[in-house]
Structure 1
Amino acid sequence: MNGAPMLPLRDVQAGTPPPWWPPAPGWLWLGAAVLAVAVAVAIWSVRRRRKAARWRRYFDQVVAEAGTPAERLAAISALLRRAARRLDPQADRLQGEAWLHLLDQGLSPPAFAAGPGRLLIDDLYRPQVDPAALAALHALARRRFVQWMVRS
């Protein structure tokens, strides 16, 4: 071993850190997936809002075509029953308090059984309907109608 030349040994040198750009392929895939989900949620949200706007216009048009306040009340009732069939095919056959309780499902406080929704039972067949109560019912019924129609 005496005859072997001595090699100069150096300490381990730290390499240069990797650059931050371009990122590793895994980060690119993750970014693409997050972007795809964000685009899908945005498209879904826009479509849902447009669908709700179409149902609101439809509700308002059908109610406006009815002439007298009593006919408007009947049109509101018919629209709500049509929307209820989307939840349960037998829902449009409910009467009285059972019908109001179905309309109140998910509402806090109950606005149909203990609010302007009582018109659907109390004043449905009367020739004279209070216009202020009908306006309150219209807003409430339109909101419930759109919720049920957009849901499915």
Structure 2
Amino acid sequence: MGAALVLRDIHQPPPPPWWPPAPGWWLLAALVLALAAWGAWRGWRRRARRRALAAWFDRALAEAGSPPAQVAAISELLRRAARRRDPRADRLQGEEWLAFLDASPPGRRARRAPSSAFRDGPGRLLLDGAYRRDVDPRAVAALRALARVRFLQWMDAA
């Protein structure tokens, strides 16, 4: 007879190394990085657009000069922004216009309950403030803050 075979225990192969990862992980990482870069770019673009809109609003009011002219400029800017929400909105007058301004803006902010800051607060100055001879600058400042927020909401919604 020949030599007897020596039987040995079964050995498992070594586990695969963690580096370099399999090609599927590289694809997943590239996809995640591309999505993160796209999200960052969109956020940057949205912030740049919002800054430009805010500068436009502030520049228009700075050029207006007197408080009645500032109220007229605020009204014009709000009507321009309102057309983005409803093409007929710039034709609204009086209490209907103020109610439209108080309505919830479209999009994510629409979950909030509508306010009455235009109908019952500083926004009432829009009704006749542009036609008065003397307008209190503090009232214009309060209207400006309120109108700036609504202008940015409506212009940034698109």
TM-score range, shorter chain: 0.7 to 0.9
In the other structure, the counterpart of 1:115 is 121
Q: Secondary structure at the match of 1:27?
A: helix
1:35 aligns with 2:41: no
Highest Rg: 1 or 2? 1
Q: 1:138 to 1:10 in 2, by over 3 A?
A: same
After TM superposition, list the pairs within 5 Å mapping 1:1-152 onto structure 2.
Answer: 6-106=4-104, 108=113, 110=115, 111-152=117-158
Once the two structures are aligned, what percentage of the paired residues are identical? 57
Shift of the alpha carbon at 1:133? Answer: 1.2
Q: Residues of 2 paired with 1:39 and 1:98: CA distance?
A: 44
Q: Secondary structure at the match of 1:102?
A: helix
Give the gaps of 5 or more residues in structure 1. none
Q: Residues of 2 paired with 1:115 and 1:21: CA distance?
A: 64
Shift of the alpha carbon at 1:21? Answer: 0.7
- Deviation track 1:35-90 (CA, whole Å, cap 9, x = no partner) reads 11111111111111111111111111111111321111011001000011111110
Q: How many residues align?
A: 150
Q: Secondary structure at the match of 1:123?
A: helix
Give the gaps of 5 or more residues in structure 2. 105-111
Runs of 4+ in structure 1 deviating by more than 4 angstroms, as ranges, are: 3-6
Q: Residues of 2 paired with 1:9 and 1:120: CA distance?
A: 98
